[in-house]
Every structure is written in C-alpha cells, then in structure tokens.
Amino acid sequence: MTDHTDFTPPSDTATALPTVVIIGRPNVGKSTLFNRIVGSQQAIVEDRPGITRDRKELEAEWLDIPFLVVDTGGWMPGGDALEAKVSRQVEQAVQEADVVLFVVNTTV
C-alpha cells in the first residue's frame, strides 16, 4: 500500500511532470485546494494555522493534463524559528515550481 503521508523523492516519471506549488500565508485554504485538486482528503485541513509543516506532493491531473501538485506549510518569513524553517521549505518548493498558486484570504 502506498503511504501518502511521507514525502518521497519524485520518480523519473514524476520529475518529467510539470510541478504546481500551492503557497500562501497560514490558514488561507492551501490544503483545501490541494485536496480538491487531488480529489480526496490527502492533506490535513485545520481551523488552526500551522498544521502543514512539510511539503506534501502528489501526482494529479486536471482536464486530462497530468502534473505534480505540492502543498506547503504557511509562508511566514518573519516568524519564529520553526516558522522560518517552514518558510525556507516553501521558498525551496517555489524554486522547483513550474507554476505557483498563491492563495490569499480575501476576507481579511
């Protein structure tokens, strides 16, 4: 059985796929969007910010186009030590991205 909770380095097939990375501040709906794209509840959705700390990456497709989609932790570059660490991971994911989806909360 495949364990989707662990990040595994992309296979050769996977690296050939375009990479879509979802980023944004904590609690804006990144994991919700990720789950919608992959079609099931793979990423933890929480009312509290800061639940997603490691990137989560899965193969997906939209309109028959396959790609890799990556969920990331909240981007908080000015935060504490842990937030700074998560933010570095987010920035690393952006560097590897072909497309960046920047999610914002329009109600604040």
Ligand X SMILES: Nc1nc2c(ncn2[C@@H]2O[C@H](COP(=O)(O)OP(=O)(O)O)[C@@H](O)[C@H]2O)c(=O)[nH]1
Q: Tell me the number of residues near ligand X by CB under 6 A.
A: 14
By CB under 5 A, name the binding residues for Mg ion. Answer: 30-31, 52
Q: What is the bridge-based pairing of β-strands 56-62 and 19-24?
A: unpaired
Phi, then psi, of 72 in degrees rounded to 5: -125, 165
End-to-end alpha carbon distance in the chain? 41
> Segment contacting ligand X (CB under 6 A): 25-33, 54-62, 79-87, 93-101?
25-33
> Segment contacting ligand X (CB under 6 A): 42-50, 60-68, 78-86, 94-102?
42-50
Residue 57, strand partner residues:
70
State yes or no: residue 87 binds ligand X (CB under 6 A).
no
Phi, then psi, of 99 in degrees rounded to 5: -135, 135
State yes or no: residue 26 binds ligand X (CB under 6 A).
yes
Kindly list the residues in this chain that would bind ligand X in the complex (CB under 6 A). Answer: 24, 26-32, 45-47, 49, 52, 74
